[in-house]
Structure 1
């Protein structure tokens, strides 16, 4: 399925000029996720790298511990969207029953439909991986991110999640209309390819919400860098998990959380 399609617009100017133009628009499509035959969620996502999305989504939802827990991922094109059929090993079936819910959401927030606050803010594992990135390498990665956002360069409408090496080199990138989806795709691609953080970081073209912090902690990411500001809950959860967090990362400055929470 296409990830971008041309659309015609009328360009308006303050002087009253009106000009017909065509530009690429990012495709946003409903993706119904089924896990072991049970309807789990309907996500609005960019229809690319869906096998990676399946792995990362399942990891973020705590349905799997690693790649070996997934038997198969099948992408079926339906009339009005896509169906992502995921089969887990029998040993993980008990996790599905407790988490199955039907929801329509714009992002894999891991919260929609959960009414129990204790369930929503379950304890996070402590991050054990370490990052060797120096400050200069973070800024080097920021400078390189745009060049690796091919779909966003064409559309201007999608987020990116990048795996960065300790020297700031971009190793892997995944894009999606949803910032949570992009991160799930990145983590899924790493699981599928057997790639670790190796002293690097995750760089996200998004604000730092608590959901992204939780995804990072569950993926044992040693350093999370985001281009926009964090929320208070994101800071608290990062401190709880021992996750190094750098936010508001721009070409001239960035803010590193002190790790103390409230």
Structure 2
């Protein structure tokens, strides 16, 4: 019987040293404004014993810690001793983690894979390639930004479209505003991705055109929400929480209007980029 292999803590390879970068924003009146730091995110593909398991959108720091914690917290391994090595490599927005685990844990992985696809967290569980996390998507036709008055008092007006959230909390909302600036309806879910999916589905099932309107999300705005908006043909996305840097990059690249609505200051237009306003 072969000797039991010891768990191996791999020294961290070179990784991104910054978790945030500055981005410019302007006002809806297109006056020059300022810049602010936005959190970065990357797509981290995780493979166990050479088999792709999931792609997670994560902040590019402490990646080995994340991989080990994800492995334990998701039940892929039951003890850290089942993880023999973790090797992380990549650049830009795409990284890969190659994880070697014990035979016992690897045999149990097939059952666990079926459980991951339905989680409501921040990852892209079940997506097995970085190419799927960072897909080639068609750009939208450029669209006008919404009038500034549409967003006045918007945070307060969203309350009537969040009955579950007001009653119980712990849910996100996505709300549709039509081309006249009228809030029409919203959808709620414990998963921020799910809430936007529900809104997009409601628009499709009710055959309501999103042309000239916008979607408002109460959650932070990361890359997955940009993907969903682009695929659904939503030209403007308003987020009550700051977007990630990667979300801004993709919104600018694909002509999606992206606006952050802070608690106590004017709306911040991150896309289109400031130089396009000239």
Length-normalised TM-score, structure 2: 0.53
Q: How far did 1:156 drift?
A: 1.6
Structure 1 gap segments, 5+ residues each: 1-99
Residue 158 of structure 2 is aligned to residue 145 of structure 1: yes
Report the counterpart of residue 71 of structure 1 in structure 2.
none
Which of 170, 192, 195 pairs up with 1:179? Answer: 192
Q: 3-state SS of the aligned residue for 1:127? A: coil
CA distance in 2, matches of 1:139, 1:244: 18
Q: How far did 1:101 drift?
A: 7.5
Report the counterpart of residue 97 of structure 1 in structure 2.
none
Which of 110, 123, 131 pairs up with 1:118? Answer: 131
Q: Deviations over 1:213-258 (max 9, x none)?
A: 1100111101000000111111111112110000144364221104
CA distance in 1, matches of 2:255, 2:145: 15
1:128, 1:220 within 8 Å by CA — same for their partners in 2? Answer: no
Moved more, 118-127 or 132-141: 132-141
CA distance in 1, matches of 2:197, 2:121: 8
With over 3 angstroms needed to count, the CA separation of the structure-2 counterparts of 1:129 and 1:141, relative to structure 1, is farther
CA distance in 2, matches of 1:195, 1:163: 10
Residue 166 of structure 2 is aligned to residue 163 of structure 1: no
Structure 2 gap segments, 5+ residues each: 1-112
Larger Rg: 2
1:225, 1:245 within 8 Å by CA — same for their partners in 2? Answer: yes
Residue 215 of structure 2 is aligned to residue 239 of structure 1: no
1:246, 1:257 within 8 Å by CA — same for their partners in 2? Answer: yes
Q: 3-state SS of the aligned residue for 1:256? A: strand
Report the counterpart of residue 5 of structure 1 in structure 2.
none
Which of 205, 211, 214 pairs up with 1:198? Answer: 211
1:235, 1:259 within 8 Å by CA — same for their partners in 2? Answer: no
1:204, 1:225 within 8 Å by CA — same for their partners in 2? Answer: yes
1:165, 1:201 within 8 Å by CA — same for their partners in 2? Answer: yes
Q: How far did 1:106 drift?
A: 3.4
Length-normalised TM-score, structure 1: 0.56
Equivalent residue pairs, number: 162
Q: 3-state SS of the aligned residue for 2:203? A: helix
Q: How far did 1:107 drift?
A: 2.9
With over 3 angstroms needed to count, the CA separation of the structure-2 counterparts of 1:122 and 1:157, relative to structure 1, is same
With over 3 angstroms needed to count, the CA separation of the structure-2 counterparts of 1:127 and 1:250, relative to structure 1, is farther
CA distance in 1, matches of 2:131, 2:146: 34
CA distance in 2, matches of 1:260, 1:205: 22
With over 3 angstroms needed to count, the CA separation of the structure-2 counterparts of 1:221 and 1:129, relative to structure 1, is farther
